[in-house]
């Protein structure tokens, strides 16, 4: 592993919540060192201001970033702005993980270079990620939903509409000052938003669920996010009608599919909760059969830390795979 010890990583957008979390994780990574960190709002300040334990190193503006000096780049810039900087880093020769929404779904107008982006959910696409130069890091909500549903989708067991009722801590909404994210507005409240199947993560969920399902068998999705008065964490409570009743303990499907996964925990005796996942790169999943309904129905609960498995942690996991490093390095 010594040969990797000098790999240089750049973090673009280091002072947002995802960027800060990336800095924190990289600061303890044995094989990577932070060669570059950018921040438009805090350029000139030390990284150690952004994350405790981070090196005393200056952040620079994007315009001054030496992308060519990076072996790898984590692009934590806002949606819309991220794509061109990921492209620039790729052109400069770096391996790139883009954490934005920009490269996850490909349409007719997606440029050629962006079509090469591999969807970075290691538990589902490990081999392709390992060979990729460009990875689109999944959204936080899709990460939990897809890992929760994959065992059913692959086997063609889910009948739609699948109801994904999701709740997220406020760091999922970013660190830019907005009135509706003030403590005085969020504390003691709880509210749905983007209700009625209009959240931008839906296209990503549908695209990936379609890829996992048997041809023509992808179920419809209904997705409702809610804002929780907590700092971190996503919990999804997912209602799935089954094509046919399952024999035995339904959790066995998840146990089987994820037996070797270092970051998946299947909980046996209770639903998943935020506390099972917050502060770690883990997804906690639990499965319950619904009583007293005619059609066979399961509730799958899944919890992640939106800033770790839902953002920076998964990005480091992807980077480890892309660079041939141990997948769990920096994440334990």
Per-position x/- string for 199-228, each x denoting binding to a second copy as judged by CB under 8 A, each - no binding: ---x-----------------x-x-x-x-x
Handedness of CA 322, 124, 332, 78 (dihedral sign): positive
The candidate with the shortest Cα–Cα distance to 303, out of 278, 270, 268, is: 278
- The answer to the question of residue 56 lying near a second copy (CB under 8 A) is no
Of 69-77, 175-183, 207-215, 308-316, the window that binds a second copy (rule: CB under 8 A) is 175-183
Of 6-14, 95-103, 138-146, 235-243, the window that binds a second copy (rule: CB under 8 A) is 235-243
Partners of 60 in the beta sheet? 38
Q: How far is the CB of 238 from a second copy (least distance, A)?
A: 10
Of 98-106, 136-144, 251-259, 273-281, the window that binds a second copy (rule: CB under 8 A) is 273-281
Distance CA 163, CA 221 (A): 6
Cα-based distances in Å from 186 to 171, 178, 179, 322: 12, 11, 10, 39
Of 63-71, 122-130, 249-257, 278-286, the window that binds a second copy (rule: CB under 8 A) is 278-286
Of 61-69, 99-107, 108-116, 170-178, the window that binds a second copy (rule: CB under 8 A) is 170-178
- The answer to the question of residue 84 lying near a second copy (CB under 8 A) is no
- Phi–psi pair at 176, nearest 5 degrees: -75, 140
Contacts 24+ apart (CB under 8 A), 38-41: 38/10, 38/11, 38/12, 38/13, 38/14, 38/62, 38/64, 38/65, 39/13, 39/14, 39/15, 41/15
How many chain residues are in contact with a second copy, going by CB under 8 A?
A: 69
Q: How far is the CB of 22 from a second copy (least distance, A)?
A: 16
- The answer to the question of residue 68 lying near a second copy (CB under 8 A) is no
Q: How far is the CB of 138 from a second copy (least distance, A)?
A: 21
Give whichever of 143 and 301 is closer to a second copy, judged by the CB atom. 301
Distance CA 247, CA 237 (A): 22
Q: How far is the CB of 232 from a second copy (least distance, A)?
A: 8
- The answer to the question of residue 248 lying near a second copy (CB under 8 A) is no
Length of the chain: 332
Q: Please write down the HEC assignment for all residues of 88-156.
A: HHHHCCCEEEECCCCCCCCCCCCCHHHHCCEECCHHHHHHHHHCCCEEECCCHHHHHHHHHHHHHHHCC
8 Å CB contact between 228 and 303: no
Could you confirm whether 140 is annotated as catalytic?
yes
Structure tokens at 132: 């990729």
Side-chain half-sphere CA neighbours of 158 within 13 A = 29
- The answer to the question of residue 156 lying near a second copy (CB under 8 A) is no
- The residue from 74, 235, 251, 325 that contacts a second copy (CB under 8 A) is 235
Give whichever of 120 and 250 is closer to a second copy, judged by the CB atom. 250
- The answer to the question of residue 1 lying near a second copy (CB under 8 A) is no
Interface positions, 112-131, toward a second copy (CB under 8 A): none
Partners of 202 in the beta sheet? none
For residues 214, 216, 217, 222, the Cα torsion angle rounded to the nearest 10 degrees is: 130
- The residue from 6, 189, 256, 328 that contacts a second copy (CB under 8 A) is 189
- The answer to the question of residue 23 lying near a second copy (CB under 8 A) is no
Residues with active-site annotation = 140
Interface residues toward a second copy, by CB under 8 A: 17, 28, 52-53, 160-161, 163, 165, 167, 169-171, 175-179, 181-193, 195-198, 202, 220, 222, 224, 226, 228-233, 235, 237, 239, 271-276, 278, 280, 282, 288-295, 297, 299, 301, 332
């Amino acid at each position: 592993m010594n040969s990797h010890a000098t790999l240089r990583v750049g973090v673009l957008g280091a002072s947002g919540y995802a960027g800060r979390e990336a800095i924190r994780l990289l600061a303890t990574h044995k094989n990577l060192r932070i060669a570059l960190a950018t921040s438009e709002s805090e350029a000139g300040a030390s990284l150690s201001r952004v994350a405790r334990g981070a090196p005393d190193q200056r952040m620079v503006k994007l315009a001054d970033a030496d992308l060519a000096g990076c072996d790898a780049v984590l692009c934590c810039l806002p949606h819309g702005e991220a794509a061109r900087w990921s492209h620039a880093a790729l052109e400069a020769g770096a391996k790139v993980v883009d954490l934005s929404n920009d490269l996850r779904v490909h349409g007719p107008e997606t440029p050629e270079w962006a079509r090469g982006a591999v969807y970075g959910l290691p538990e589902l696409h490990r081999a392709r990620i390992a060979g990729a130069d460009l990875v689109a890091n999944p959204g936080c909500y899709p990460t939990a939903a897809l890992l929760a549903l994959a065992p059913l989708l692959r086997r063609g067991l889910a009948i739609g509409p699948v109801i994904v009722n999701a709740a997220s801590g406020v760091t999922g909404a970013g660190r830019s000052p907005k009135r509706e994210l003030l403590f005085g507005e969020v504390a003691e409240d709880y509210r749905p938003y983007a209700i009625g199947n209009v959240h931008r993560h839906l296209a990503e969920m549908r695209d990936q669920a379609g890829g996992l399902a048997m041809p023509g068998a992808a179920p419809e999705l209904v997705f409702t996010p809610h804002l929780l008065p907590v700092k971190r964490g996503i919990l999804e409570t997912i209602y799935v009608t089954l094509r046919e009743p399952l024999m035995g303990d339904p959790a066995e499907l998840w146990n089987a599919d994820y037996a070797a996964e270092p970051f998946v925990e299947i909980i046996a005796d209770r639903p998943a909760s935020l506390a099972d996942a917050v502060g770690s790169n883990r997804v906690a999943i639990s499965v319950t059969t619904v009583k007293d309904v005619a059609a066979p129905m399961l509730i799958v609960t899944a919890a992640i830390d939106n800033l770790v498995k839902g953002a920076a942690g998964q990005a480091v996991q992807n980077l480890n795979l892309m660079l041939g490093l141990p997948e769990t390095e920096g994440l334990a």
